[in-house]
Amino acid sequence: MEILVCVKRVPDTAENEIEVNRDGTDIERDDLVYSVNEWDNYAVEEAIQIRDRVGGTVTVVSVGDEESEEILRREMAMGADKGVLLSDAAFEGSDGRGVAAILKAEAEKGHYDLILTGALADDGAGEVGGMLAAMLDRPYASLVNHIEVEKGQPTIKVGREIEGGNQEMNEIDLPCVLSIQTGINEPRYVGIRGIRKVASLDIPVHGAADLGIAPEQVGAAAALVKRRDYFVPDLGAGAEILEGSTEEVIDKLINILKAQGGLK
Ligand SMILES: Cc1cc2nc3c(=O)[nH]c(=O)nc-3n(C[C@H](O)[C@H](O)[C@H](O)COP(=O)(O)OP(=O)(O)OC[C@H]3O[C@@H](n4cnc5c(N)ncnc54)[C@H](O)[C@@H]3O)c2cc1C
């Protein structure tokens, strides 16, 4: 089975204090520690497990600048067979539709049975997977937390997490696009030795011309959703932000819950 997994480089919220930048257009990105989007890491693990069961190839792809090569290499150290970086000045400032259009062009260069995205990434739109499926005219299932694949079958079974802790099982035709929910598996640990093993592997870079994308179709100028402001909302009446170390915040929270009768 040929599997393409879309991975995004995102700020690591466990490692950074996230602040809005001075002109209020984005977060302050200088000096942030980045890593692979958590949902995408689950998607790559799932792809590797499927490949190991039924054979095939796992390719990881990212739209980003040259720094995204690092996360592609990390996912290759995890077990992905190939990495492709989609990078071009024309791609900068794309909205979700632009990102999906770039991924679509790359997907059409291969013959992928299965395309996996994360359910959402750092901008939280949860839009790229669905848009990519629509652009490729392929069936799509979102928030997938279980996959059953049988070698040579034209369909696979996918489980979806739905409201109220309920679970849904679907049969979906191949080729298809799935967005993966966290918790579907236990992503394997990637050690320094694994990273070293893939350090010299070639990661091709495809730009707009390689993908047959006219620069005016993507990027900031083509974005149909334009970010106009970026801010931390004012505290609402009655809201209180607890300050202090984790232990202090926990103690304060317990006291508040006890005082409000929420904890005996
Ligand atoms: C400088 C800058 C300017 C921007 N301007 C705009 C703007 O004007 N309008 C606007 O709407 N957005 C803008 N964005 C946001 C950007 O386009 C989003 O990253 C994009 O819309 C995807 O949204 P998301 O992170 O919510 O992805 P989601 O749709 O939540 O992600 C779902 C999945 O899609 C895949 N995916 C998402 N992004 C990528 C990627 N880059 N490479 C590979 N796979 C990916 C991953 O598998 C991910 O798990 C801007 C971002 C930056 C950094």
Domain harbouring 74, CATH code: 3.40.50.620
Domain co-membership, 118 together with 191: yes
Domain co-membership, 190 together with 242: no
Task: Give the pLDDT of the chain (264 residues) as one tens digit per residue.
Answer: 999 999 999 998 777 788 888 888 888 888 888 999 999 999 999 999 999 999 999 999 999 999 999 999 999 999 999 999 999 999 999 999 999 999 999 999 999 999 999 999 998 899 999 999 999 999 999 999 999 999 999 999 999 988 888 899 999 999 999 999 999 999 999 999 999 999 999 999 999 999 999 999 999 999 998 888 888 888 777 778 898 999 999 999 999 999 988 777
Task: Tell me, in angstroms, the distance from the centre of ligand 1 to residue 40's CA.
Answer: 13
Would residue 243 count as lying in a domain? yes
Cα–Cα distance, 119 to 191 (Å, whole number): 26
State if residue 65 touches ligand 1 by the CB under 6 angstroms criterion. no
- How do beta strands 57-63 and 82-86 pair? parallel
Would residue 263 count as lying in a domain? yes
Nearest CA to ligand 1 atom 8: 226
Task: Tell me, in angstroms, the distance from the centre of ligand 1 to residue 123's CA.
Answer: 6
State if residue 7 touches ligand 1 by the CB under 6 angstroms criterion. yes
Domain co-membership, 149 together with 254: no
- Please list, in sequence order, all residues whose beta carbon lies within 8 angstroms of the beta carbon of residue 163, skipping any fewer than 6 positions away: none
pTM of the model: 0.90
Domain co-membership, 102 together with 143: yes
Please tell me the predicted confidence (pLDDT) of residue 26. Answer: 84
Domain count across the chain:
2
Please tell me the predicted confidence (pLDDT) of residue 227. Answer: 84
State if residue 81 touches ligand 1 by the CB under 6 angstroms criterion. no
Please tell me the predicted confidence (pLDDT) of residue 211. Answer: 98
Domain co-membership, 200 together with 87: yes
Task: Tell me, in angstroms, the distance from the centre of ligand 1 to residue 165's CA.
Answer: 28
Mutate which of 4, 99, 116, 206 for ligand 1 pocket (most atoms within 8 A of beta carbon): 99
Domain co-membership, 249 together with 122: no
Cα–Cα distance, 205 to 95 (Å, whole number): 21
First to last CA, the chain: 55
Please tell me the predicted confidence (pLDDT) of residue 205. Answer: 98
Please tell me the predicted confidence (pLDDT) of residue 45. Answer: 98
* Cα angle value 215/220/224 (rounded, 5°): 105
Would residue 29 count as lying in a domain? yes
Please tell me the predicted confidence (pLDDT) of residue 168. Answer: 95
- Give the number of C-alpha atoms closer than 13 A to the C-alpha of residue 116, restricted to the C-beta side: 32
Task: Tell me, in angstroms, the distance from the centre of ligand 1 to residue 217's CA.
Answer: 16
Domain co-membership, 8 together with 130: yes
Please tell me the predicted confidence (pLDDT) of residue 229. Answer: 85
Domain co-membership, 90 together with 160: yes
Domain co-membership, 251 together with 145: no
**Closest listed residue to residue 144, CA positions, set 102, 107, 176:** 176
4 touches 107 (CB < 8 A): yes
**Residue numbers of the domain that contains 176:** 2-222
Would residue 67 count as lying in a domain? yes
Cα–Cα distance, 228 to 84 (Å, whole number): 31
Task: Tell me, in angstroms, the distance from the centre of ligand 1 to residue 99's CA.
Answer: 6
Domain co-membership, 240 together with 167: no
Nearest CA to ligand 1 atom 49: 118
Domain co-membership, 156 together with 256: no
Domain co-membership, 6 together with 134: yes
Would residue 227 count as lying in a domain? no
